[in-house]
Structure 1
Amino acid sequence: MIAQLLAAVPVAVACSVPVALLGALLLHRMRLRSITAAVIVLALVPVLAALAGVIGVSGFMYTPQLAGAVVVCAVVAAVTVPAAMMLGRGIARDVMWLHEAREAERAAEAARRQLVAWISHDLRTPLAGIRAMSEGLADGVISDADDVAEYARRIRRETVRLAGMVEDLFQLSRITSGAMRLTFSAVPLHDVVSEAVAAEAVAANRKGVVVRADGGCVWPVVRGSDPELARVVRNLLSNAIRHTPPAGTVVVAADVQDGRARLRVDDECGGIADADLERVFDVAFRGGSARTPGEEAGGGLGLAIARGLVEAHGGGIRVVNHGPGCRFEVDLPLAARPD
């Protein structure tokens, strides 16, 4: 008996090895293709190699033992193939998730570096001005009372700009880190818009831009956090005023569509290039404008903050070219009706 077994070993090996090598070749060629198919092949190769060995040992003749081995191999294959498919799909999902996570990490790192570079540049400009003016005052180079008062006003203005940029960075950090906690309530959208229009009226008047709320709208009541919604509207208005030329108009309107509140801010900026429409809400994105900001420019974070706050409310925000300018649209959940 032992002698027969020893004699069968070379035959079984000779028949099994080609099948195993063929399976290895298939796995090598499929390593960059379907993971699921590769796992199925990996599961089938041992079964087929064992079956080939049994057939070789039987002398390629039908015997009850061969029939039993074929049945056993078929049952094993029927169990392992579905299991291999499930395992392969799970591995494919995990690999895809890891790939997307790495891509997102790379994008976030690139955005962080870009943000640091841009913010460093934007902070350097007002800081250099403050330093020069303060040194002039401290050294007595500026002694005339009117000049001293003007320098003090400029230093204050630059300080306010710096404080706004730091606040924007802090707000964006809270949004991206998930540390923001909102208290939701029923918020009349008309009240939020009225306050934002009044707050931005000073900047609009200084530039000669008309900003108004559409009086013909039926303003919905939304579910949200009043301070954060006010920040969203003010950021959108500030952006619209900044890019609308003098004598232009910025209009805020709202309605209800498909069971959601829809807020619209229309400006007369002249439109945005199609290639830039998807990037408008990216951190520190300013399109083709110069890197040196003007008096009213910030760190390019306003729209990114607006998107983060809107998404924290379970809403969405987008921009399209509309008429002589752009239309920013925000959709928000409606407040629940009282029973």
Structure 2
Amino acid sequence: MVNSIPQNKYADALSRAPWRIFALGIVAALAVVAILMAALMRAPVQEITTLMYWLSISSLVSLVLGYILYRRGLARSPSLSLTLVLTYGWAGLLTLANVWLMSEQMFFSKDHDLILSGILLLFAAIIATTFGIFVAASVTDGLRQLARTAQQIAEGNLQARVSISGRDEVAMVGSTFNEMATQLQQAAQEREELEQMRKDLIAWTSHDLRTPLTSIRAMIEALHDGVVEDPNTVTRYYKTIRSDIIALNDIIDDLFELAQLDAGGLSMQMADHALGDLVSDTLEMFQALAKDHDVTLRGEVAPDLGLVRMCTPKIGRVIANLVSNALRYTPDGGTVTVTAVRQANELASEVIVTVQDSGPGFAPEDLARVFEQFYRGEQARSRADGSGAGLGLAIARGIVAAHDGRIWAENAPEGGAIVGFSLPY
């Protein structure tokens, strides 16, 4: 349970209207002087009035100059300690100036000099204290803002921020506090996204597992109950069951491999291998599937590619994932092209592999998230058919990162999607 911070309504009122401090101080000082002169010195009304006149002018001038000094200089001070020291110095100057000015203006008998001096000192002290209270209220207002904003954040309002101007320690704390609040807000958003991803994982994985399991169960029950007796149908059922079991196994393998990538425990046995051969093997593996969907598979490998240091099975998995994903979204009669080239510059040399399809491409809002685990775009490339668990690109990103490479996705100007990755050469 969050304890609320006690509020001081009087301090808040003064901080919202600092001129009230000046007004109250002047009125209190004049009232005290008038009462003491009438009670102790038994001064005539005319003398008291004259004194009040000059004291009013002196106090207003002193406080206006002090206010200007604070707003023009002390409020911009880089140190709270320096601000307070200068405030004390100004208060002392106020005391001396007011006493000297009043002593020059008033002409009382020597018997009353001591009392008059005491009254003037008391007046100057009240005025100086008033200015000190004003500065203290201005300084502590920032601290109260910090306390109120911290209370709002503790109650769940992560958008709350403090507005403190200046360069002193309080302003620095306010700036740091706002940065902390921003980080807390970002962390909360990330937690919400992770929670949503967890829910999506449960929903999508359940769907992807349930679909082949339901199919397998229905066909096994049909075979067990003797509903299907035609040899050709029985053979077809067995082939479908085998295909569904392979699909289930692929999903489980994807989940396991993704868990290894997240834990940093994926085994990478690096060796020099011909990347061109790996591209050819992958294209050969998907030729039958491409033919079934009337999709043309093409490969373009640069002749100077040479050997690349990599974990051959894992990079083969990356290329297979990208080709499989491209085939899934390429319409009948379309084309999927795999290219592998060498690119060198002054800083480094790398091998770039791209897979381009002639499908609808990525929705603009999906481009930044296509490599997230379990992310499925809601637009053109969504998995409405339920095929795959949304892990292929996430696994590809993890494997490429383990090779100190980079991976990206973009839409081709002529249409279709391009997914590519690079490896150090």
With over 3 angstroms needed to count, the CA separation of the structure-2 counterparts of 1:162 and 1:286, relative to structure 1, is: farther
Contact 1:35–1:92 (CA<8 Å) still a contact in 2?
A: no
Q: Which stretch shifts more, 148-157 or 245-254?
A: 245-254
Of 124, 136, 153, which aligns to 1:20?
136
Give the secondary structure class of the aligned counterpart of 2:360: coil
Distance across 2 between alignment mates of 1:149 and 1:200: 24
Higher Cα Rg, which structure: 2
What letter corresponds to residue 144 of structure 1 in structure 2?
D
Q: Any unmatched runs of 5+ in structure 2?
A: 1-121, 150-160
Matched, 1:211 2:297: yes
With over 3 angstroms needed to count, the CA separation of the structure-2 counterparts of 1:215 and 1:109, relative to structure 1, is: same
* Post-superposition offset of 1:268: 1.0
Q: Give the root-mean-square deviation of aligned CA atoms.
A: 3.1
Give the secondary structure class of the aligned counterpart of 1:214: strand
Distance across 1 between alignment mates of 2:303 and 2:226: 58
With over 3 angstroms needed to count, the CA separation of the structure-2 counterparts of 1:216 and 1:260, relative to structure 1, is: closer
Give the secondary structure class of the aligned counterpart of 1:245: coil
With over 3 angstroms needed to count, the CA separation of the structure-2 counterparts of 1:149 and 1:190, relative to structure 1, is: same
Distance across 2 between alignment mates of 1:332 and 1:95: 39
Q: Any unmatched runs of 5+ in structure 1?
A: 1-6, 43-84, 335-339
Of 234, 245, 258, which aligns to 1:148?
234
Distance across 1 between alignment mates of 2:200 and 2:368: 17
Of 84, 105, 109, which aligns to 2:191?
105
**CA offsets 1:137-163 (integer angstroms, 9 cap, x no match):** 112222222222221111111111111
Of 158, 166, 171, which aligns to 2:252?
166
Contact 1:133–1:155 (CA<8 Å) still a contact in 2?
A: yes
Give the secondary structure class of the aligned counterpart of 2:369: coil
What letter corresponds to residue 246 of structure 1 in structure 2?
D
Matched, 1:325 2:416: yes
Of 17, 23, 41, which aligns to 2:170?
41
Q: After TM superposition, list the pairs within 5 Å mapping 1:189-208 onto structure 2.
A: 189-208=275-294
Distance across 2 between alignment mates of 1:327 and 1:299: 20
Distance across 1 between alignment mates of 2:222 and 2:375: 32
Contact 2:400–2:421 (CA<8 Å) still a contact in 1?
A: yes
Which residue in 2 is equivalent to 1:291? Answer: 384
Contact 2:327–2:357 (CA<8 Å) still a contact in 1?
A: yes
Give the secondary structure class of the aligned counterpart of 1:142: coil
Matched, 1:273 2:392: no
With over 3 angstroms needed to count, the CA separation of the structure-2 counterparts of 1:213 and 1:172, relative to structure 1, is: same
Distance across 1 between alignment mates of 2:404 and 2:384: 33
* Post-superposition offset of 1:117: 0.7
With over 3 angstroms needed to count, the CA separation of the structure-2 counterparts of 1:321 and 1:19, relative to structure 1, is: same
* Post-superposition offset of 1:91: 6.2
What letter corresponds to residue 411 of structure 2 in structure 1?
N
Distance across 2 between alignment mates of 1:106 and 1:328: 28
- Report the TM-score when normalising by structure 2: 0.58
* Post-superposition offset of 1:169: 1.3
What letter corresponds to residue 178 of structure 1 in structure 2?
G
Q: After TM superposition, list the pairs within 5 Å mapping 1:44-59 onto structure 2.
A: none
Q: Which has the higher contact order (CA 8 A, sep 6+)?
A: 1
* Post-superposition offset of 1:233: 0.5
Distance across 2 between alignment mates of 1:202 and 1:150: 18
**CA offsets 1:39-62 (integer angstroms, 9 cap, x no match):** 8128xxxxxxxxxxxxxxxxxxxx
With over 3 angstroms needed to count, the CA separation of the structure-2 counterparts of 1:21 and 1:324, relative to structure 1, is: closer
With over 3 angstroms needed to count, the CA separation of the structure-2 counterparts of 1:122 and 1:39, relative to structure 1, is: farther
Of 324, 328, 332, which aligns to 1:246?
332
- Identity in percent: 35
**CA offsets 1:138-193 (integer angstroms, 9 cap, x no match):** 12222222222221111111111111111111112222233324233334321221
* Post-superposition offset of 1:130: 1.0
**CA offsets 1:69-121 (integer angstroms, 9 cap, x no match):** xxxxxxxxxxxxxxxx5x77776665555444433332222112112111111
**CA offsets 1:242-295 (integer angstroms, 9 cap, x no match):** 2122232211112214432211111111322222222322324154346343xx
With over 3 angstroms needed to count, the CA separation of the structure-2 counterparts of 1:175 and 1:105, relative to structure 1, is: farther
Distance across 2 between alignment mates of 1:176 and 1:260: 25
What letter corresponds to residue 299 of structure 2 in structure 1?
A
What letter corresponds to residue 271 of structure 1 in structure 2?
G
Distance across 1 between alignment mates of 2:283 and 2:415: 21
Distance across 2 between alignment mates of 1:309 and 1:178: 10
Distance across 1 between alignment mates of 2:290 and 2:245: 21
With over 3 angstroms needed to count, the CA separation of the structure-2 counterparts of 1:88 and 1:257, relative to structure 1, is: farther
**CA offsets 1:176-213 (integer angstroms, 9 cap, x no match):** 23332423333432122122222222222222222122
Aligned pairs, number: 282
Distance across 2 between alignment mates of 1:278 and 1:140: 52
- Report the TM-score when normalising by structure 1: 0.72
With over 3 angstroms needed to count, the CA separation of the structure-2 counterparts of 1:102 and 1:227, relative to structure 1, is: farther
